[in-house]
A and B are shown apart, each in its own frame.
Chain A
Amino acid sequence: MSVVALPSSFARPARRVWRKLTRPHVLVAGVMLALLAYLVITPLLIMIQTTITWQPEDNRLVRGITPGEFTLFHWERVFNSIISQTMLWTPLQNTLVTSIGISIFALTLGSLLAWLVVRTDLPGKKFIASVAIIPYMLPSWTISLAWIVVFKNQRVGGSIGFLEALTGAQVPDWLSYGPVPIIITLSLHYYAFAFLLVSGALQSLDARLEESGEMLGATRWQVLSRITFPLVIPAILSAFILTFSRAMGSFGTPAFLGNPVRYYVLSTTLYNNISSRLQADGFVLGLVLIAISIVTIYLNQRIIGVRKSYATLTGKGFASTPVRLRALKYPILILVGMFLFIAVVAPLGFLGYQSLMLQKNSFALDNLSLHFWIGESNPKIADGIAGILTDVQTWVSAWNSIALAVLVGLITSVLGIFLGYAVVKGRGTWLSKIVEQVAFLPYLMPSIAFGAIYIGMFAQPLGPLPALYGTFWILVVVSVAKNLPYSSRSGTAAMLQVGSELEEAALVGGASWLTRFRRIIIPLTSSGLVAGFLLTFITSMRELSLIVLLVTPTTRTLTTLNFRYAEQGYHQPGDALAMMLVVIILACEWIVRHFRGAQIGKGLGA
């Protein structure tokens, strides 16, 4: 009897555990966790390992080393050697100065605009809001290219910009290149991000809180400063930290506006190190970027006290009586109009104009030509560069860009649904929490550093994937991984919309998990999928920092081709490419928005 009883008493808990482990959401969470470990944790570990071992290329610097052995050489070289100043400290200082500057300006502009649009009776608010987010859909460096068109001076590259051509006076160096233009142009990009976050917070703010202040006799200004502002301060602080972290990882703008005058930030230094095959040193810089980013986000959460407070910003809208601007209404409208003109219309106008200029330095109307759009290669013009629409390189890049964006969009949408399912159905369990946390990790890593991680990882075959370095697929993998936080968030949000009873009702009816997923979950989350797809599509279309270290001539995208032109000083074809990219992105946004009613603005605030 006891012989029989023993195994059965063992079998009971085992069967119970087995049932728990084979629950669909546990299985899905397990698979997702494995995928996340593979895509996020492994590369990070490989990156760290690279920095603390001798690399084959170190033979150039130190004799008699054995590659693969442990060393602190790279960390010492970066932090404590004669080149530390140029390699780390100066770029670090520049990074902090520009990133903080960008965050302050972007936040001020974005918050003001958000308040005007959400809380006042400013005319044409809907139109203003839809125009205001355009810069955020475009590559962050678009405005920096336009800046060069206008403020370029003779000192660098020989040709002059629009302003110098118009006035004849030489534009001072500090206005042409370096920190000032970097801060201004990136602020004009990131303000839209702050605008989205803060307007979300303002919308979810219960107007009755403000009204009860008014009832008690507070003036408009008192209500604004004592009630509204303190209530949205978590959102503003989060927006500040996120802008800071993104600005730190941005590469295009500091490369275009900093490199010509040897003004380097961490992202450009990292790029230079890796381009000159000092990979381990570059990785150390990447880890420094990641560390700063993690520390700031951690501080933000400590200060705010609400974890990921930006995650819960958007909520129900409350009907509210808008603040009357009275006499200031039209002056403010004119100011906002001017601002949007400077931030959105003018940059595209200047880019468009320069793309039509045959000679670099003549802004005269008779210099206009469609050569850089549709011209055949002519050795006399720009070293024989053909118009972008006749150049096969453009079409290869455009194809790569679109293929990349579509693939990444599709893969992340599907992953997002699975991640959302694992997180929502397992709510409260540690597995669900871990999946959510790990999926969030890529968010903490500045793009350029994240791209750098993947160089090391896929140089050799790893696990199920072959050596991907140099192929198109590494771009897909890195973009999917970097977008995981967004896809997991949009997947979770979509899944939360689907009440658990809807799945349970099917369960009671005897439907298997596959049937439930196929016939209930997927159809009900598909509108969320479309919004998530569009978000990732646009992010991938405009991406440069993430993939600039990973592309090869055959896998070039429109953004990296543009970067190549800009690096080599061919402004007009670069501008034409940028315009082409802008048109593609805006067209896609328009198509999806009109056909599915999806709100890209909401998605981008993620």
Chain B
Amino acid sequence: METTNIIIKNLTKRFGQVAAVNNVTLTIEPGAFITLLGPSGCGKTTLLRCVAGLEEPDEGEILIGDKLVFSSRRGISLPAGQRNLGLVFQNYALWPHMTVYKNMTFALEIQKLAKAEMDQRVKESLAEVQMTGYAERYPREMSGGQQQRIALARMLAYRPKVFLMDEPLSNLDARLRMDMRAELKRLHHVAGATTIYVTHDQVEALTMSTQIAVMKEGVVQQMDTPDCVYHFPANLFVADFIGNPKVNLLEGVANGDGAVDLGNFKIQLAARTAPGQVVVAARPEDITIALAPEPGAVEFTAYSVLPAGADSTIVARRDQLELTVKVIGTSKIKMDDKVWLQFNPATLNLYDKTSGNLIHSKN
């Protein structure tokens, strides 16, 4: 399948006084799987709907392929149906009064495709989502997971240049969601169509995307590969939003010679920084924990121990300071044990306390 790039330039969409999408500029490479990630109300769905043509932005431009589909400056706004995109909705939006076959051929009939061609496409698309034989079912005669597959098949049959997905997995139970993630990633891999995927689930974003755009209050905070978004969050919001359990954010003062004073102990950094008020971000899995003192380790008390089979989370306290540490497997540490925490300078990120931006990345 041919692939298409998408360019969004200075896009703004207001609802009343609130800018749901605020001056967003994004370039999406052909064949990319880009996830718009953020908490509810961050504007990710609105941005998707602007691309789809279901909302008319107030300012900016959208190009799909080489085609200008929206431009406030030139007064262009192509109707959704002419943008050649496929959209999968959160609640699937299968027409309940039509069979699977009718659902899938609705748009094809509008394109006036020949019957044989439609049958062929239905057959192929159903096979791709492993739902062969379901053509004559009605949506209510299928489970949620099956309906989800049909919604995908409906989009595939239409053969759009771009796939748009609005939280397609959030109505499924945890188990099915796992399975469908693998299926969706495979589908994208095979079809190769440029995909914009909206979710609030960071695991979905991290596991499936080639690129993640983290959004907050209508503004893209960071757009990068999942790996970079996880390991080098551009600001405190992204650092705090990504990662489970949450990143440890420690406020302190950088003294100018490569260490941060947290009040009752210091953390050594990998490189020197300018002095000032900073926030140190340490991922729970990047902190090592031991039951005996080690050189450079800081003494804490195990406040709570939460084993989860494959890994364990330990909440450790020292005076007012509380840290989360994640270790592989079941930990020997018991509640109220004395523990020693070791920070790995190479894994720490440093943020400016006032701006919240990354000032020092590990090297």
* A interface residues, Cβ below 8 angstroms from B: 11-12, 15-16, 19-20, 499, 501-502, 504-512, 515, 519-520, 523-524
Contact = CB atoms under 8 A, between A and B. Distances in A.
A508 B82 contact: no
B107 A19 contact: no
Nearest to B15: A428
Contacts, number: 74
A519 B87 CA distance: 19
Interface string B76-104: 01011111011101110101110000000
A504 B106 contact: no
What's the dominant secondary structure at chain A's contact region?
Answer: helix
B87 A510 contact: no
A515 B110 CA distance: 9
A12 B54 CA distance: 20
Contacts of B82: 510
A510 B107 contact: yes
Q: How large is the interface on B (under 10, 10 to 19, 20 to 34, 35 or more residues)?
A: 20 to 34
Interface stretch (B26-34, B67-75, B130-138): B67-75
Nearest to A501: B93
18 contacts: A12-B74, A16-B56, A20-B56, A499-B91, A499-B93, A504-B52, A504-B80, A505-B93, A507-B80, A507-B81, A508-B52, A508-B53, A508-B83, A508-B87, A510-B80, A511-B81, A523-B97, A524-B97
Nearest to B90: A501
Contact of A509 (B54, B56, B89, B158): B158
Contacts of B73: 12
B170 to A, nearest CB: 14
Nearest to B58: A16
Contacts of A499: 91, 93
B109 to A, nearest CB: 9
A510 B111 contact: yes
Contacts of A523: 97
B110 A509 contact: yes
Interface of B: 52-54, 56, 72-75, 77, 79-83, 85-87, 89-91, 93, 95-97, 106-107, 110-111, 154, 158
A501 B95 CA distance: 10
A13 to B, nearest CB: 8
Contact of B91 (A12, A16, A501, A519): A501
A19 B77 CA distance: 9
Nearest to B111: A510
A504 B80 CA distance: 9
Which of B73, B75, B97, B111 has the most A CB atoms < 10 Å from its CB? B75
Contacts of A510: 80-82, 107, 110-111
Contacts of B96: 524
Which of B52, B53, B83, B110 has the most A CB atoms < 10 Å from its CB? B110
Contacts of B111: 510
B106 A506 contact: yes
Contacts of B110: 509-512, 515
Contacts of B54: 504, 507-508
A16 to B, nearest CB: 6
A20 B82 CA distance: 18
Given A12-B75, A501-B90, 13 more contacts: A16-B75, A499-B91, A499-B93, A506-B106, A507-B54, A507-B80, A508-B52, A508-B80, A509-B81, A509-B107, A510-B110, A519-B106, A524-B97
Given A510-B82, A511-B106, A515-B110, A504 B97 contact: no
Contacts of B86: 508
A508 B75 contact: no
Contact of B72 (A12, A505, A515): A12
A511 B107 CA distance: 7
Contacts of B77: 16, 19
